[in-house]
Structures are given as C-alpha cells and as structure tokens.
A = this chain, B = another copy of it.
Amino acid sequence: MAATWAVRAGLGVVVFTLSLEVLVWVCRRSRSRSKGVLKEVIFFPTNAACVEHVFMPAFQCPCLLQHGVETSFARLLRHILSANSTLDLCVFAFSHMDLSRAVLALHARGLVIRVLTDKDYASINGSQIGLLLKAGICVRSDSGAVHMHHKFALVDGRRVITGSLNWTMTAVQNNKENVMVTEEPDLVTPFVREFQRLWEANDPERLRRTAAPL
C-alpha cells in the first residue's frame, strides 16, 4: 500500500514539474511573440552612401560613394524589398530614383503593386510616377483632398512603413525625418483599411460614372 502511494506521489511530482516547465515555456513564448513583433524607428537625414549592395549583394560597384554602409536609407530599402506578394504605396511626393528602382524591381518579380499619389505632385519635374506607369504599375491619384499627404507603404499587407519622409532625395539626405516600421496588427490594420478605402474612392471608372451627366 505504502509502495503504491510512493509511486503515486512520485508520479504527481513528475507531472507537477513537467506541467510547470510547459507553462513557463508557454508564458515565455507568448511574451517573446509580443516582444518579437517588428517595431523600428529610422531617422533621417542619412549620409550619402552606395546602395548597390542592397540591390545586388555580389556586385562590386565602382562608384565614388562609400560602400557597404548600412545607412538609414539602406534599412528603408531593405524593408521595401522584403515584399513577397504585394506593395501598396500611398505617397505624396515620389522622386527618389533608388526608391523607384526598388518598386520597379518588385514589379519585375511579379508582385502586385498599387500606387496612390497626390494629383499635383504626380507630374512635377523629377517625379517617378510616370516611370511606374510606363512599367505597367497601377497608379491612382487622389481626387478629393487638397493634398494626398500620406507617406506610407504596406508590405505584403502586414508591415507598415510610415512617417514624415516624402520619397525624395531632399527628404532622405537633407531633412530631419522619421520613418516607423512595424508589423503590430493594431497599427497595421487601420492603414490597410484606409488604403483600400482611398483606392476604391479614387477608382477612375467609379469617378467617371459619378461625374457622368444624368
């Protein structure tokens, strides 16, 4: 009888210890998952440096700029180029050639790209919007606001890149700017919804129907 109780007590202790271990692991995993969600802030301006290593890691670029430096701009480019399926851009001014090159590279990889931009800034000198259109990327310009002043990107619908930074050389190399990058669902979901709302509201076909005389 005593032996039976000893076995039962022993088993109880083993089960207890194992359960504790499992619970501690579950707790840790739950905390690290929340901690591990991408939350990054990038500040500008950044020093001019070559970004060829971001586009083509093996390429030995002969240009005169500093090479292999991980600047704020290189980090921003990496976040954009990390897209696997979709890229939704909502950008006020878009004249930076390397940012345009990144978007065109994703388009060439077959990703679905949608660009929503400001109607006045789409056609100014140096704007990259014409190049994107020429490549067959779907672009819409905001018809309602004084300015479509957003500067955010949605990578695969689950990562938002947003802040004060317009997609221009002046912003990247000369201004004090910030860009926040996060996959925190509570922050990403509102941007996904707002993009979809603005995209549908600025559908040229829909606008044509609305404007048509009765």
Contacts and interface: CB of A to CB of B under 8 A. Distances in A.
Interface residues of A, number: 56
Interface in A183-214: 184, 186-187, 190-191, 194, 198
A186 B146 CA distance: 34
Contacts of A5: 2, 5-6, 8-9
A41 to B, nearest CB: 4
A177 B190 contact: no
Nearest to A45: B145
A45 B146 CA distance: 10
A171 interface: yes
Contacts of A149: 164-165, 171, 175-177
A66 B183 CA distance: 37
Contact of A190 (B27, B31, B41): B41
Contact of A16 (B8, B15, B151, B178): B15
B175 A147 contact: yes
A41 B150 contact: no
